[in-house]
Amino acid sequence: MTTRPHKVHTQLGRIAVQIFAANDRINQILIEHLDPTAWRAIPSGKGRTIAAIFTHMHNVRCKWIRLTAPHLKVPRQLNRAHCTPQQARAGLAESAARCAEMLAEALGGGGGRVEKFHRDGWARPWPVGVEMLCYMLSHEAHHRGQVCMLAHQLGFRLPNKVTSGMWNWEKLWRECGSPGGPGYDS
């Protein structure tokens, strides 16, 4: 899926969009390299499947967009019982693009319509700022950790190039169209 470039008026806004793109690239790499059998493997106890974790991540993004930037097109939610890895990748790509638009408006200094970050209907909204991005990234990193641990516990260990590749932000940024990498306003 291609996305239109965001007109962002501040360095923070541009970097937030780049960071979220790299964040989603990690999700895409995990799904791409995950053994297909692991997708619906049932964990012991009451845990979620890997499919349910990734659909949850997408659906939460949809909620953030719906509550924080209702003027943006909210992606269709995914059904954790029937979602395929290909559908999850497409859904995550779309919701990442909308989250990037939301971040660009919120942090871009261009007088966008995003003024408060609504994490959930029950939570008090926050003024937009770097805390918004940190919250979004923390949520996703938490669930990626669950996916990696669950895959390992179920006997579907991810290749080392994937688990170590999650930390190669220079490469991730290049793959997302930011040739300068972290620390360079490209």
Least trusted range by pLDDT, from 24-38, 74-88, 100-114: 100-114
Q: Average pLDDT, stretch 21-37?
A: 96
CB-CB contact of 74 with 10 (8 Å)? no
**Tokens 């659906």 -> residue:** 59
- CATH code of 11-175, in short, is 1.20.120.450
- pLDDT tens digit string along 91-136? 999 999 999 999 999 998 767 789 999 999 899 999 998 999 999 9
Least trusted range by pLDDT, from 38-42, 50-54, 108-112: 108-112
Count of all residues that appear for the chain in the document: 186
**pTM listed for this prediction:** 0.90
Burial of 168 (0-12, 13-18, 19+ CB in 10 A): middle
> Residue 174: which pLDDT band, with cuts at 50, 70 and 90?
confident
Q: Where are the domains of the chain?
A: 11-175
Six token digits for residue 161: 């190039």
Q: Average pLDDT, stretch 139-148?
A: 97
Q: What span, in angstroms and rounded, lies between the C-alpha atoms of 100 and 24? A: 10
Six token digits for residue 144: 């990626």
